[in-house]
Amino acid sequence: MMYWHDHGVSGWGWFTMTASMIVFWVLVIAVVVPLFRTFSHNRAADSAHSAAPGGPRTGWSMPEQILAERYARGEIDDEEYQRRLATLRGMPPGSAKP
């Protein structure tokens, strides 16, 4: 005689399956989202460096690059550029070389 009753999934079985599936997907998302953000952030930073004319400048920090871009666009004059560059490099004003 075959027992067709009492061998199925009970209410607790359905609850356990549902809860474990939700936990599984939460864990997958919790791992994938930080990885995606990390790699997309690094890619955006790399493209910002390589987007500058002539490629990335070695030995220049990001503030110096921004200052050089402002000078190239004409937002600041030569005197202000020299003064701010010297400040960024920690040298006395007038001693910076572009």
- 66 with 97, same domain: the answer is yes
3 in any annotated domain: no
pLDDT in tens, 16-60: 999 999 999 999 999 999 998 888 876 655 555 555 454 555 566
Domain count, the chain: 2
Distance CA 98, CA 64 (A): 10
- 20 with 47, same domain: the answer is yes
Distance CA 97, CA 82 (A): 7
Helical packing angle, 78-89 and 62-73, nearest 10°? 180
Distance CA 24, CA 19 (A): 9
Report pLDDT for 32.
Answer: 95
Retrieve residue 71's tokens: 């000078």
Distance CA 57, CA 50 (A): 9
- 43 with 76, same domain: the answer is no
- 96 with 70, same domain: the answer is yes
- 65 with 47, same domain: the answer is no
User: Whole-prediction pTM value?
Assistant: 0.39
56 in any annotated domain: no
Range of the structural domain that residue 73 is part of? 61-98
Residue 2 pLDDT grade (very low, low, confident, very high; cuts 50, 70, 90): low
